[in-house]
Structure 1
Amino acid sequence: MTTLADVPPPTARRVRVWFGEHVIADYTAEPADAIRYQAGMTRRFASLRITIEPATAAVDEDVTDS
């Protein structure tokens, strides 16, 4: 069951840090905070892929398994 607390705001962005096909960090926040987080992760993990996308478009892996 999904509650309103589980639904991100429509403007929220989801930032993920990938090690190959594995997500090693997942962060959802308002756009300004998400951009700052993405910049910090890019500096910290320069060789890894870092994605940023609308949070509502992202599908949580736990949801697909149930």
Structure 2
Amino acid sequence: MTTVADVPQPTQRRVRVWFGEHVIADYTAEPALAMKYQAGMTRRFASLRVTIEPATAAVGPSASDS
């Protein structure tokens, strides 16, 4: 069972740090905190790609069965 607290709100942002095609860090928070995290990760990992995008709820294949 999924509770409301487990589902990211549409206003949240997802920050990911990429090493090639592999995600090595994944962080979801409200926009202000996500921007701070992105800035810190960009400084810390200057040679890696850091992305920020709207957070979306992940729906697994079994969700359509319920």
How many residue pairs are counted as aligned between the two chains?
61
Q: C-alpha root-mean-square deviation of aligned residues, in Å?
A: 1.8
TM-score, normalised via structure 2 length: 0.81
More helix as a share of residues: 1
Q: CA shift at 1:10, angstroms? A: 1.5
**SS state at 1:10 partner:** coil
**Residues 8-63 of structure 1, C-alpha deviations (whole Å, 9 max, x = no match):** 1120000000000110000000000000000000000000000000001x758xx4
Partner of 2:43: 43
Q: 4+ residue stretches of structure 1 with deviation over 3 A?
A: none
In the alignment, structure 1 segments of 5+ residues that lack a partner are none
In the alignment, structure 2 segments of 5+ residues that lack a partner are 62-66
Partner of 1:26: 26
TM-score, normalised via structure 1 length: 0.81
**SS state at 2:24 partner:** strand
- The CA distance in 1 between the partners of 2:26 and 2:58, in whole Å, is 12
- The CA distance in 1 between the partners of 2:58 and 2:45, in whole Å, is 24
Identity of matched residues, %: 82
Partner of 1:3: 3
